[in-house]
A and B are shown apart, each in its own frame.
Chain A
Amino acid sequence: MKMFRSRPWLGISLLVAALLVLPLVVDASLGRSWVRVFDFALLYVMLALGLNIVVGYAGLLDLGYIAFYAVGAYTWALLASPQFGLHLPFWAILPIGAGVAALFGILLGTPTLRLRGDYLAIVTLGFGEIIRIFLNNLNEPVNITNGPQGITLIDPASLGSFSLGQAHSVFGLELSAPHFYYYLFLLFACGVIFISLRLENSRIGRAWVAIREDEIAAAAMGINTRNIKLLAFAMGATFAGLAGGLFASFQGFVSPESFNLLESIMILCMIVLGGMGHIPGVILGAVLLTVLPEALRYVGDLQRVTLGRVLIDPADLRMLLFGLALVLMMLFRPAGLMPSIRRKREFSETGQP
C-alpha cells in the first residue's frame, strides 16, 4: 500500500489497466455471460451513485428511484426503435433521456419535498409504481409504450458506422457486444464518479449535507432548502436516466417489469451496504450486489455435483443469504462496508472514527 501512496499515479494506472483487461480475462476464464454481469455492475454503479446524492448526501429517502431509470430507458426505446419509426443517433438520445429523467425528478420533487422521512419514502414509492403502471397501460387508446409486451428491436448504440451491438475484430481480438458495452459503460461510470467527487466537496455538496443534518438550521443559514433538494432529486434522476438509456440500448428490449419496487430497494441496499455518502463504498456495494447473486447461481450446480440433486433452489438461497448478509451488516457494520469518515462518526457512540 505504501508503494501506491507515495506514487498515486502508479496505483491509478494499474487500476485502469486492470479495468481495461477485465472483460477479456473474464471472457476467457468465466465465459461471455460474466462479461454481461460486469456490464450490469457498471450500470448499477451509475444508479447507486445517483441515488447516493439523494439519500446519502441530501438525506431524502427515495424508494421510487427506479422510475427515473425507467424514464431514461423508455426515452431511448421510443426514440430509437420501430415503435414510432424513429432512429435518432446515440449522442442525441442520451442527453434527451437524461434531461427527461431530470425533468421527472423535478416533477416528483416539487409537490413532495415538503414531506420528510417516512412520508417522503411512501410518496416516492407511490411515484415509482405510478410510472411502472403507466408504462404498463399506455398501449391504448394510443399505443405509446406497447404495454406489458414492452418495446423490442431497440437500436444498439453505435459510433458512426461502428455498431456496438455486433462482434468486431479489434487489434486482432475477436470482441463481442458485451465487451464494447463494457467499455462504453466504463466511460460513463467514470464520468458519473468524477461528477460525484467534484460535487461532494463543493458549495452545493455542503448545502446537501447541511440539509440532511438540520434542515431548519440550513434554512436559517440562507440555504434555499426547496431548490437545493430539488437539485439533488434532479441530479440523481439525471444519472438514472443516463443509465436507463444505456440499459435500453444494451438489452435491445425494455418492458415495465424491469422497473419494479424490488429494483429500487436493491439500489438502496447497495448504498447502505457499501457506505452511504461515500463514493468508493457505494461503488463497492453496487459491484458486490450485482456480482455475488450471480456467483450464487453456481450453488445449484454444486449441489447437483455433490448431492446428486438440487436440494435448495439457488434463487431462494440467494434471497436468504442476501437477507442474512444485510442483518449481519446492520449488526456489525451499520455504517456500511466502506463508510465515509463522517458516517463512521455518526454511528459510533464515542464519536471517534
Chain B
Amino acid sequence: MALLEVSNISKVFGGLKALSDVSFTLGRGEIFGVIGPNGAGKTTLFNALTGLYTPDSGEIRLDGTHLFRRKPHEILKAGLARTFQNIRLFHDMSALENVMVGRHARTSSGVLGAVLRSARTRAEEADSRERGQALLSRVGIERHSQVLARHLAYGDQRRLEIARALATEPKLLALDEPAAGMNSTEKQSLRELLLSLRQDGLSLMLIEHDVKLVMGTCDRLMVLDYGEKIAEGLPVEIRANSKVIAAYLGAEVA
C-alpha cells in the first residue's frame, strides 16, 4: 500500500483555481519531486496537505489515516512534517530549543509535571535534549546547538528546519525548496543528507527548482501547471515530456 494517497484535491481562492483535482500516490521510502513553473500551485499543495490551508474537496490518506481537513497539529501527529520555503524557525530560540519544540507532539508532560518536576518529566526533558542534540549532529550543525536560530548561516538555518521536522518522527517529510539560496557545495551535501534520510526509511516529498538536484535525487516526479497535474513519471520521462517543456518554455504544444 502506498504511504500517501491524494485524490482529486482542489483549492479555490476567490475565482482562482489554485489546485484542481490533483491526484497522486507516494510510495514508502520514495523521494517524490513536485516541480512546475512559478505559481503552479506547488506550495499551495503542501499547505493543503499539511492543514495550513483547508482544501475544498478531495481525499488525503497517510498510511491509511484520513487527513482531509484536519488541523495542522493532527496532521503532524499522523506523521507528515514539513519545512517552509521562506524559513520559519523560532528565531530567538537556540538551535537546540528549536529541535526540542519539534518533540512537542511526541511528548506529553504538562503544567503539573513541569511544576513538580516529576521523574517522568525529567526523563522526557533529558530524552528531548538528547534526541535534539543527536538530530543536530545528523544534519551537521551540532557545534551550533546553543546559537540562536537567527544567527545561524543561511544553509544551517535550512538544516535546522530539517532537524526540527525530523524531531517530530515523521513518516513523510515534505521539503519546500530546501536548496533555495544554497551554493553548489551546500546543495551537494543537502543531496547526501536527503539520500541518507531515505536510507533510514524516511519518505520524502520535495518541491525544488534546481533541475539538477531534482533529477539526481528524486525517484519520481509530478509536474504542476496552473494548479493542474500535467505529468507524472520517472525523471527521464519528465525530461522528454512535451507538455512539461511547453509549460516551462511557453512553446505551443505540437
Looking at the assembled complex, report how far the CB atom of B141 sits from the nearest CB atom of chain A, in whole angstroms.
18
For chain A, what secondary structure do more than half of its interface residues adopt (helix, strand, loop), or is it mixed?
helix
Q: Are B105 and A222 in contact (CB under 8 A)?
A: yes
Q: Which residues of A contact B67 (CB under 8 A)?
A: none
Q: How far apart sit A209 and B100, CA to CA, in the bound complex (Å)?
A: 12
Q: Which residues of B contact A195 (CB under 8 A)?
A: 115
**B60 part of interface (Cβ distance < 8 Å):** no
Q: Are A222 and B111 in contact (CB under 8 A)?
A: no
Q: Are A204 and B92 in contact (CB under 8 A)?
A: no
Q: Which residues of A contact B97 (CB under 8 A)?
A: 206
Q: Which residues of A contact B121 (CB under 8 A)?
A: 202-203
Q: Are A213 and B90 in contact (CB under 8 A)?
A: yes
**A210 part of interface (Cβ distance < 8 Å):** yes
CB contact under 8 A between A351 and B150, given known A203-B107, A206-B100? yes
**A235 part of interface (Cβ distance < 8 Å):** yes
Chain-A contact segment, one of B26-34, B76-84, B215-223: B76-84
From A343, which residue of chain B is reached at the shortest CB distance?
B92
Q: Are B124 and A222 in contact (CB under 8 A)?
A: no
Interface residues of B in 94-125 (CB under 8 A from A): 97, 100-107, 109-111, 113-115, 117, 121, 124-125
Query: Which one of B52, B91, B107 has the greatest number of beta carbons of chain A within 10 Å?
Result: B91
In this complex, the interface size class of chain A, counting residues with CB under 8 Å from chain B, is 20 to 34
CB contact under 8 A between A220 and B92, given known A210-B101, A345-B148? no
Q: Are B101 and A219 in contact (CB under 8 A)?
A: no
From A199, which residue of chain B is reached at the shortest CB distance?
B114
Looking at the assembled complex, report how far the CB atom of B95 sits from the nearest CB atom of chain A, in whole angstroms.
13
Q: Which residues of B contact A218 (CB under 8 A)?
A: 90, 101
CB contact under 8 A between A204 and B105, given known A216-B88, A221-B168? no
Q: Are A222 and B115 in contact (CB under 8 A)?
A: no
Interface size on B, residues (CB 8 A): 43
Q: How far apart sit A81 and B164, CA to CA, in the bound complex (Å)?
A: 55
CB contact under 8 A between A222 and B73, given known A345-B148, A351-B150? yes
Q: Which residues of A contact B124 (CB under 8 A)?
A: 203
Residue from A207, A235, A342 within 8 A of B92 (CB atoms): A342
**B66 part of interface (Cβ distance < 8 Å):** no
Interface residues of A in 216-235 (CB under 8 A from B): 216-225, 231, 235
Number of A-B residue pairs with CB-CB distance less than 8 Å in the complex they form: 107
Residue from B92, B110, B151, B168 within 8 A of A222 (CB atoms): B168
Interface residues of B in 2-43 (CB under 8 A from A): none
**A214 part of interface (Cβ distance < 8 Å):** yes
CB contact under 8 A between A220 and B76, given known A206-B100, A351-B148, A351-B151? yes
Q: Which residues of A contact B90 (CB under 8 A)?
A: 209-210, 213-214, 217-218
Interface residues of B in 117-170 (CB under 8 A from A): 117, 121, 124-125, 128, 148, 150-151, 164-165, 168
Q: How far apart sit A246 and B4, CA to CA, in the bound complex (Å)?
A: 56
Q: Which residues of A contact B151 (CB under 8 A)?
A: 351
**A89 part of interface (Cβ distance < 8 Å):** no
Q: How far apart sit A99 and B88, CA to CA, in the bound complex (Å)?
A: 37
Query: Which one of A198, A206, A213, A217 has the greatest number of beta carbons of chain B within 10 Å?
Result: A217
Q: How far apart sit A216 and B151, CA to CA, in the bound complex (Å)?
A: 21
Q: Are B72 and A219 in contact (CB under 8 A)?
A: yes
**A346 part of interface (Cβ distance < 8 Å):** yes
CB contact under 8 A between A225 and B73, given known A198-B115, A216-B88, A351-B150? yes
Q: How far apart sit A213 and B125, CA to CA, in the bound complex (Å)?
A: 21
Q: How far apart sit A224 and B110, CA to CA, in the bound complex (Å)?
A: 13
Q: Are B115 and A199 in contact (CB under 8 A)?
A: yes
**B50 part of interface (Cβ distance < 8 Å):** yes
Q: Which residues of B contact A207 (CB under 8 A)?
A: 101, 104
Looking at the assembled complex, report how far the CB atom of A239 sits from the nearest CB atom of chain B, in whole angstroms.
12
Q: Are B114 and A205 in contact (CB under 8 A)?
A: yes
Q: Are B114 and A221 in contact (CB under 8 A)?
A: no
**B179 part of interface (Cβ distance < 8 Å):** no
Q: Are B104 and A213 in contact (CB under 8 A)?
A: no
CB contact under 8 A between A222 and B76, given known A198-B114, A203-B125, A217-B90? yes
CB contact under 8 A between A221 and B109, given known A198-B114, A202-B121, A206-B93? no
Looking at the assembled complex, report how far the CB atom of B120 sits from the nearest CB atom of chain A, in whole angstroms.
11
Since A222-B105, A224-B73 are in contact, a sample of 18 more A-B pairs with Cβ atoms closer than 8 Å, ordered by chain A residue number, is A194-B115, A202-B114, A202-B125, A210-B104, A217-B88, A217-B90, A218-B101, A219-B51, A219-B52, A220-B81, A220-B82, A222-B168, A223-B73, A224-B71, A345-B92, A345-B148, A345-B150, A351-B150
5 A-B pairs closest in CB distance: A222-B105, A202-B114, A222-B76, A217-B88, A219-B72
